[in-house]
Amino acid sequence: MTAFTYRKRVLHAEHVPLPAIAEAVGTPTYVYSSAALRSHFRAVTESFGEHPHLVCYSVKANSTLAVLRLLAEEGSGFDIVSGGELARVKAAGGAPNKTVFAGVGKTAEEMAAALAAGVLFFNVESPEELELLDAVGRAQGRRAPFAIRVNPNVDARTHRYIATGLKTSKFGVPFEEAVGLYSRARKMKGLEAVGLDCHIGSQITLTSPFKAALTKVGGLYQELKAQGHGLRYLDVGGGLGITYTEEKPPSTAEYARTILAAVGATGATLVFEPGRSVVGNAGVLLTRVLFRKKTPARQFVVVDAGMNDLMRPALYDAHHGLQPLVQRRGKAVDVDVVGPVCESTDVLARQRPLVLPRQGELYAFMSAGAYGMSMASTYNSRPRPAEVMVDGSAWRVVRERERVEDLWRGESP
């Protein structure tokens, strides 16, 4: 759904005018639509109908407690990649027994805490991790439930930094080694094989990579079952893209048809790990114009949001739409919208045609709900933004803006 629309030339989040939030809370501030979050989550889970499945929202996309609480209330499970994310899930009221622990670098302490909490299973990504998980399980006198993440060497046809299913990737184990690892695990008393996992990347806008990868993985799942492994879950990962500019990703219904055609006959309970497709277009970042600056080569607009607030343009050269909170008529000029961070990469929008912004005007970076606040930092000793949740005509601050004093909490001069 589209939660951010203009009414009488003023940009709204659901029924709330965004300038009212900016004036009350200040900028930069992230704003999320609860209606969009619910709609996007329900679209995923309902697309799979009666087929046994569990949607595990990918916490790394946006780990704000209010977002996690809303999704937990919708019945979501969670996909985590650290002990800190597990703690956030629990603090938000999420269920550990509907939580999958992924990631290539889990520590023994993280494994032990997750096993004691009762996570659904661990996605194991290397032989040495399998051995460590076995030791952790034996130390607790229990069998740690696991799935091995296989790397099918399929090109997701996305940005190279977010492709995870190629043989050059750090993620997963080579497809050809999986059978041997499951056989080894049978002899380990601290392990229980419950599933198989595959995740090939993020911001995928075609169904063909999903089909290619999961056709291979579905065959492997059936082979392992035939060998007597008691698998129940087939984790197909996430990665469904969203529209930032002109992308045309598959609908959730088309995505579901592709997945079910590839692996529906395995009989497995399917586990999905959507992140961006749930939160990406459910959030915006509000910012205020500080200065205009013209050089012989460029027209710059300096805003109070920087790369520490929204890392994706600097990290991936990612595009975020930029909309004025109050529309104004006039001739558009090409401008570079830059932040105050002392780095040349602090360019949030390059050569955008805008009616030349005035000092003090408010803008929104669109499609900023995923990998926005979760990647935010305090670089240049800049406090992180506030966060707001909108629900119909109501809104509330769900994370207060950091204070300068928070920047050195825990330090000693």
Does 316 carry a binding-site annotation? yes
How far apart, in Å, are the Cα atoms of 113 and each of 28, 80, 140, 150, 384? 36, 13, 10, 25, 29
CA distance 301 to 290: 8
Does 74 carry a binding-site annotation? no
Under a CB-based contact definition with an 8 Å cutoff, are residues 36 and 244 in contact? no
Distance of CA 324 to the CA centre of its chain: 26
Does 330 carry a binding-site annotation? no
In 171-203, which positions are buried (b, 16+ CB within 10 angstroms) versus exposed (e)? bbbebeebbebbeebeebebbebbbbbbbbbbb
Both tokens assigned to 120: 């659904």
Does 109 carry a binding-site annotation? no
Both tokens assigned to 331: 């001739």
CA distance 28 to 311: 14
CA dihedral 49, 53, 54, 57 (to 10 degrees): -70
Does 239 carry a binding-site annotation? yes
CA distance 264 to 266: 6
Does 94 carry a binding-site annotation? no
Does 275 carry a binding-site annotation? yes
* 54: β partners: 271
- Burial group, residue 106, by CB count within 10 angstroms (0-12, 13-18, 19+): buried
- Which residue is catalytic, options 2, 296, 342, 413? 342
* 32: β partners: 283, 389
Under a CB-based contact definition with an 8 Å cutoff, are residues 214 and 236 in contact? yes
* 29: β partners: 286, 386
**Annotated catalytic, 56?**
no
- Burial group, residue 5, by CB count within 10 angstroms (0-12, 13-18, 19+): exposed
Q: Which residue has the tokens 């592709």?
A: 258
Q: Which residue has the tokens 């000092």?
A: 359
Does 371 carry a binding-site annotation? yes
CA distance 54 to 270: 6
Binding site for substrate, by residue number, is 276, 312, 316, 343, 371
Binding site for pyridoxal 5'-phosphate, by residue number, is 239, 273-276, 371
Catalytic residues: 342
Binding site, by residue number, is 239, 273-276, 312, 316, 343, 371
